[in-house]
Every structure is written in C-alpha cells, then in structure tokens.
C-alpha cells in the first residue's frame, strides 16, 4: 500500500527527530495520539513500528468515547491489529468510560465477534466484571440475552462465575 509506505517514512523521520508520540493532537484531530490516528486508518505496518518504541498504548482517546487504542481497534473489528496489541503490555481490563462503560470482552460480545472473543479468552482477561452503565450486566448475561450460543459455550469454559447477580439487572443471575 503506497499511502502506508509514505506515512511510514514520515513516522521514521518524526521518530528520528524525537517527536513525542504520546502527545494528543489538537481538537481538530479528535485529541488522539499518533497510535490512535494510525489505528483508525488501519495501517498495520505503522502500528508494528510504533510498538517497537516506548509508546503508551493505554492512553484514552477523549473524543472517541473515552476508549483506548485497543478498544478503538476492537470497535472497528480490526482483528490483526488487536492480535498485535495483545502481544504488548496493553491493559485489557480498562473500562471504556463513554461506551456503555463496557470492558473489551463486553464490546466484543455485543458485536458478536467470536474470533476476537476466543483470542481474548486465551489471555488473562477478567470475565467476571459487570458493565457499569448497561444494567450492570456481566458478559455472560449479555451473551445469553442476545442468544449467542457459541460465545456462551466458549465463555463457560473459563473461570466465569455464573452465579453473580447483576445489581441493576433485575437482581438476577445469568440463569
């Protein structure tokens, strides 16, 4: 991809000039960091290059539903980028403040993205956290409500607590 190669050359020049890659852009660029802008454009090579340096991958994008780069990538269903970020010290248990206060696993469940869910369940993700704003539902409760049978089966293979009561979800357990 010619455009990506040209942008990669520019990134190299900026890195050589000791540019602060963690700085957020101005309002007209949604207050995103360099990594977040590149993720939005789906430039996998550039993501890989930025991850080689000391970049903060857990910064929250104020103008993108207060999501981290990983949450943005999950929302946009960029599986290859998600896999690459999961190889870093990315915090997978951060709650997206303005996106129904969901964890990444809940975002994936809502999107019915089974491939992403399987990948996340292979790592140390907290499967027992409730969404703060969406009736305090647990991931399993969301999946059962939406009738995602394959996701439910996969989730039940984890250390999930099926007896947790959702505080604002009619005080019910999943079953």
User: How far apart (Å, rounded) are the C-alpha atoms in residues 156 and 169?
Assistant: 20
* Per-residue model confidence (pLDDT) at position 129: 67
- Do residues 92 and 129 make contact, with C-beta atoms less than 8 angstroms apart? no
Q: Which of 5-19, 23-37, 151-165 has the lowest mean pLDDT?
A: 23-37
**Helices within the chain (DSSP H only):** 2-16, 34-40, 44-50, 69-75, 79-85, 104-111, 114-121, 139-145, 149-155
pLDDT of residue 133 exceeding 60, the answer is no
pLDDT level of residue 160 (50, 70, 90 thresholds): confident
Domain 94-175 is classified in which CATH homologous superfamily? Ankyrin repeat-containing domain (1.25.40.20)
Tell me the mean pLDDT in the region 38-47. 79
DSSP codes, 75-116:
HTT-HHHHHHHTTTT--TT---TTTTT--HHHHHHHHT-HHH
Grade residue 1 by pLDDT with cuts at 50, 70 and 90. very low
Domain boundaries, the chain: 1-91, 94-175
Query: Sorting pLDDT into bands at 50, 70 and 90, what band is 107?
Result: confident
How far apart (Å, rounded) are the C-alpha atoms in residues 101 and 90? 18
Average model confidence (pLDDT) across the chain: 75
Do 94-175 and 1-91 have the same topology in CATH? yes
Q: What is the pLDDT of residues 53-65, one digit of tens each?
A: 878 888 876 666 6
Cβ distance 39 to 77 under 8 Å? no
pLDDT surpasses 50 at 99: yes
Q: Is the pLDDT of residue 28 over 60?
A: no
Does 1-91 carry CATH code 1.25.40.20?
yes
3-class DSSP state of 64: coil
What distance in Å separates the CA atoms of residue 33 and residue 30, rounded to the nearest whole number? 9
């Amino acid at each position: 991809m010619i455009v990506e190669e040209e942008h990669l050359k520019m990134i190299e020049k900026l890195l050589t000039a000791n540019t602060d890659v963690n700085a957020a852009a101005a309002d007209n660029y949604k207050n995103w960091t360099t990594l977040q802008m590149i993720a939005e454009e789906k430039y996998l090579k550039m993501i890989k290059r930025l991850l080689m340096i000391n970049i903060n991958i857990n910064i929250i994008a104020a103008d993108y539903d207060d999501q981290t780069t990983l949450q943005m990538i999950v929302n946009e269903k960029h599986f290859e980028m998600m896999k690459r970020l999961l190889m870093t010290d990315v915090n997978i248990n951060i709650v997206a403040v303005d996106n129904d206060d969901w964890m990444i696993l809940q975002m994936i469940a809502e999107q019915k993205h089974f491939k992403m869910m399987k990948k996340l369940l292979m790592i140390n993700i907290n499967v027992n956290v409730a969404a703060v704003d969406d009736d305090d539902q647990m991931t399993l409760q969301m999946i059962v409500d939406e009738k995602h049978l394959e996701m439910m089966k996969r989730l039940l293979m984890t250390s999930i607590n099926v007896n947790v009561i959702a505080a604002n979800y009619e005080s019910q357990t999943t079953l």
